[in-house]
Amino acid sequence: MLKCVVIDDESLARDILTDYLGRLDFVGPVHKFGNAREALVHLENHEADVLFLDIEMPGLNGIEFLKLLPQPPITVFTTAYRDYAFEGFELGVIDFLLKPISYPRFLLAIEKIRDFLSLKDQNTRLDGPTEEPLGSVFVKSGVQRIKLNFDEVTHIQGLKDYAIIYTLTGKIVLKGSIKFMHAIFPENRFIRVHKSFIVAVSRIARMERSRLIVNENQIPIGRNYKEEVERVLRRGDEGVRKDLTIDR
């Protein structure tokens, strides 16, 4: 049973998320708070698996609150302001829900959380290159040793001490930092676009100001990476789609 905490200064927003969580049979009692300081006291004395955290709150806002937690739970930001997504991902949040939050979009976040927890328990790790080091890498899960072709990877998300590798057919969660993944995946085919994201250049459909569309996923571009991303895409590196559009 997932132990969930909802923090939002708006009572309606708290009630909506509590209702959504109450529909799931794998979620235990939900603790909800109208301000971050009360929630901070609760988390100092109780464990939580998942945190749904509003950003714009009086006093202590969500970003400040998250920075105070030495070992934060899996966190989903909930806010009416899209621009906060960039800072949120830098803090290691797993997802970002834009208000008003629809139930189908909420379920996608829950699926991402459950996938992460399930795959994390498999203790999967990279196990060295194949005999074709530029084309694939081995992934070890239990007693299995599986070949992962770079062509199948769309993007990689860093999440605390783990990395989620998204492929055309599913996800792989590995122990290791995004910096480690950046060193493993060939730089002529993958590009770091954010503190928490690496994308396959060939999977970029388009660039929209400060985000990329990669296999129908919206990937934020960090401020410190935007110039290099634009340079690579305009130069037309290996694998860049010829129909790529860049919307500034």
DSSP letters spanning 164-222: EEEESS-EEEEES-HHHHHHHS-TTTEEEEETTEEEEGGGEEEEETTEEEETTEEEE--
Report the C-alpha gap between 236 and 234 in whole angstroms: 5
Same domain, 61 and 96: yes
Domain boundary among 120, 139, 165: 120
Would strands 95-98 and 2-7 be described as parallel, antiparallel, or unpaired?
Answer: unpaired
Bond into 70 cis (ω within 30) = no
Same domain, 139 and 232: yes
Report the C-alpha gap between 157 and 178 in whole angstroms: 7
Q: Report DSSP state, residue 101.
A: P
CA 176 vs. chain centroid, Å, equals: 14
**pLDDT tens digit sequence for 79-92:** 887 776 666 777 88
Domain boundary among 85, 101, 120: 120
Same domain, 186 and 116: no
Structural domain total, the chain: 2
Same domain, 163 and 114: no
Cβ neighbours around 225 below 10 Å, total: 16
The pLDDT assigned to 236 comes to: 62
Same domain, 132 and 243: yes
Q: Which residues constitute the domain of residue 150? A: 125-247
Q: 47 phi and psi, to 5 degrees?
A: -80, 150
Q: What is the pLDDT along the chain (248 residues), one digit of tens a residue?
A: 999 999 999 999 999 999 999 999 999 989 999 999 999 999 999 999 999 999 999 989 999 999 999 889 999 999 887 776 666 777 888 998 999 999 999 999 999 899 888 877 766 666 655 455 568 888 776 666 778 899 999 999 988 788 889 999 888 888 888 888 888 888 889 999 998 999 999 999 999 878 899 988 889 898 889 999 988 888 765 555 545 555 55
For residues 239 and 202, the answer to whether their CB atoms sit within 8 Å is: yes
The pTM is what?
A: 0.72
Same domain, 175 and 197: yes
Report the C-alpha gap between 73 and 33 in whole angstroms: 16
Same domain, 140 and 72: no
Same domain, 11 and 105: yes
HSE at residue 203, side-chain half, CA atoms within 13 A, is 22
Helices (H), 46-176: 62-68, 84-90, 103-120
Token reading at 155: 């993007």
Domain boundary among 77, 100, 120: 120
CATH assignment of the domain containing 18: 3.40.50.2300
Same domain, 98 and 145: no
Token reading at 51: 């945190």
Residue with tokens 């399930």: 118
H/E run at residue 17? helix 11-22
Report the C-alpha gap between 237 and 131 in whole angstroms: 25
Same domain, 130 and 90: no
H/E run at residue 231? helix 226-235
Same domain, 132 and 116: no
Report the C-alpha gap between 95 and 178 in whole angstroms: 17
CATH assignment of the domain containing 147: 2.40.50.1020
Report the C-alpha gap between 108 and 106 in whole angstroms: 5
Same domain, 98 and 134: no
H/E run at residue 233? helix 226-235
Token reading at 137: 């890498």
Residues, the chain, total? 248
The pLDDT assigned to 84 comes to: 67
